[in-house]
Structure 1
Amino acid sequence: MEQISLSASDIFGSDEAFVFSRAELDIRRPPQLHVQDFHEMLWVQNGTVRLHTQTGKRDLNEGDLLFISPDQPHGLQGRRAKGAHKNDEASMVVSLAIRPGVIKAIGNRHDDLSGVAFWGRGIEIAHRDIRQLAALNQAALQLERSPRRKLFLEAFILPLLIALDRPPEGLSPDAPDWLISACTAAQNPDVFRNGAAGFVAATGRAHPHVSRTMRRFLGITPSDYINTQRMEYAARRLTGTSDPLAEIAADCGLPNLSHFHKLFLASHGETPQRYRRARQRELVQPRP
């Protein structure tokens, strides 16, 4: 299929790091796919949108987020729900086109972005729930009112990138999306406080299936993974607060202090008390 090419030289002003726009989509299928020589992020604000690529089509719903790298043929089409009236609310997307070179520079500074968003496989899709979408729209409103410079673009995009699900260290990008999402969720005390059961609940899968999948992709059990998250959280609390050990252990979901000590010692090679004294004292008053 013949393609339409969009060039950054036709889109960006001489001093613009980004171009922000909103558009209602035609419900007719795009006659051609298009490619561009710049990165673009867009999300579905209202309705349903059909994404066309060279390999097929996929319907996107409100809150779905696209990260499109250069030279990726694609097209967008508005979709009406069955029985919808022609005067019903149109499908709308919000687009953020980013000047060439900006995304590469961000990726060069942050290795943690490997495999995420623009640093993925060409066109990456993520989803924002109702609360996350509201926060994204609020941030976008502020960006829309800002000067079109890189500083303001990065202030908008970096918090979003941090919040996206990403394969934890040691986990292949080929791991199932549900496992990646659960590993991200497991960093939250509300999840790891409930132990392996909390992790399994975050996956929405049966415990035996979760255990087999984790062994395949991480080589550990859900309990091992959760305990690692607990001890990393405990270490941060020990260094950054004066909270009692019993309180920290309880917040980790480990009210048994003896068990908490055992896990912390195995994870960090020091008791919680020694770890706290050393990190807090040596940071504020280093030894010669």
Structure 2
Amino acid sequence: MEQILRFEAHAFGRPYHAARVRIPVRARDTELHTHADFHEFMGVVSGSGEHLLTTGVEQLRAGDVVLVRPSDRHAVRGSAPDGLEFVNVAFPSSIWQGFLDLTRTGSWTSRGPISFHQPGAVPVFERALDRFQDDPTTYDLLRFWIDLLDLLAPGDPGDPGVPDWLAKACTAMRAEDNLRGGVPRLLELAGVSAAHLSRSMRAAYGITPTAFVTDLRLEHAASLLAATSTTIAAIATRCGFSSQSYFTRCFTTAHALTPSEFRHRSQRAFVP
């Protein structure tokens, strides 16, 4: 049965999750899975293996870097003689898209898992893993992206399919004051009609304005639950939800945990 993985099941309020994965030759393939709400970069450190996709099989070798998106169903297996070792770095899709919008690096949404061969990227993954062991910050995630993209796509002119006005409006929506304003505030920032905004967001990001705002609100709520003692009712208000009960329904659907359960598990995750 295919697994659907959620970011907070592993990160518990941290800005990213990193792990070293070793798959011996005789081990079973990892479970076929998709990501509900996160992207991940895989950096192959040593050995060789196969990336199993619904579109076919891609060979993996030391120095390969793969970006896997939520829509990509995949699994991994090790190959003889040494199996496969890689570091994977996972992060919320909404934050990744905001980074691409802000830096005009391109949305990278037009094709399947995106692969590069860049042995120089291995130390970048190792540094991200080291930082993850010591209470990582969003700054550490940004450093990982910047260092990695400098190697993978220097001089990338950005995605011409994302208009500047849309990228700027989406980035501005991350401010809490704007987030509370919801889609009407996004429309003000964009300065276009509701129909034009909807068409443009679907074309650029494959998402509706309402879904985009809800994702940002839930992302901000998760950070507040993990890092503050603010009441759940106050968090719902700060993030722009019309009521605590509606916020609880949306959050539980997205994370498979109630806000209270999420807070308990995320704050426990920081206890050594």
* One-letter identity of the residue aligned with 1:151: Y
Equivalent-residue separation in structure 1 for 2:154 and 2:91 (angstroms): 22
SS in 2 for 1:47: strand
Distance 1:73 1:121, change over 3 A: same
Structure 1, unpaired ranges of 5+: 82-88, 173-288
**By how many angstroms is 1:145 displaced?**
4.1
Q: Is 2:26 the partner of 1:36?
A: no
The two structures have a TM-score, normalised by structure 1, of 0.49
SS in 1 for 2:105: helix
Write out aligned runs for 1:9-24 (5 A).
Answer: 9-13=8-12, 15-24=13-22
Q: Which residue of 1 aligns with 2:132?
A: 144
Q: Is the Cα–Cα contact under 8 Å of residues 105 and 158 in structure 2 kept in the other structure?
A: no
Write out aligned runs for 1:120-159 (5 A).
Answer: 121-129=111-119, 132-133=120-121, 135-137=123-125, 139-159=127-147
The two structures have a TM-score, normalised by structure 2, of 0.51
**By how many angstroms is 1:5 displaced?**
1.3
Identical aligned pairs, as a percentage?
Answer: 20
Q: Which residue of 1 aligns with 2:80?
A: 80
State the aligned residue count: 159
* One-letter identity of the residue aligned with 2:29: P
Q: Is 2:103 the partner of 1:104?
A: no
Q: Is the Cα–Cα contact under 8 Å of residues 143 and 153 in structure 1 kept in the other structure?
A: no
SS in 1 for 2:71: coil
Q: Is 2:56 the partner of 1:53?
A: no
Distance 1:169 1:49, change over 3 A: same
* One-letter identity of the residue aligned with 1:70: P
Q: Which residue of 1 aligns with 2:6?
A: 7
Equivalent-residue separation in structure 2 for 1:75 and 1:56 (angstroms): 11
Distance 1:140 1:78, change over 3 A: same
How large is the RMSD of aligned CA atoms in angstroms? Answer: 2.9
Q: Which residue of 2 aligns with 1:71?
A: 71
SS in 2 for 1:77: strand
Q: Which whole-Å deviations, capped at 9, do the CAs of 1:152-206 have from their partners, x for residues lacking one?
A: 110121121122136865999xxxxxxxxxxxxxxxxxxxxxxxxxxxxxxxxxx
Equivalent-residue separation in structure 1 for 2:60 and 2:137 (angstroms): 30
Equivalent-residue separation in structure 1 for 2:159 and 2:100 (angstroms): 20
Equivalent-residue separation in structure 1 for 2:95 and 2:158 (angstroms): 28
Q: Is the Cα–Cα contact under 8 Å of residues 25 and 91 in structure 1 kept in the other structure?
A: yes
Q: RCO higher in 1 or 2 (8 Å CA, sep ≥ 6)?
A: 2
Write out aligned runs for 1:202-217 (5 A).
Answer: none
Equivalent-residue separation in structure 1 for 2:15 and 2:30 (angstroms): 30
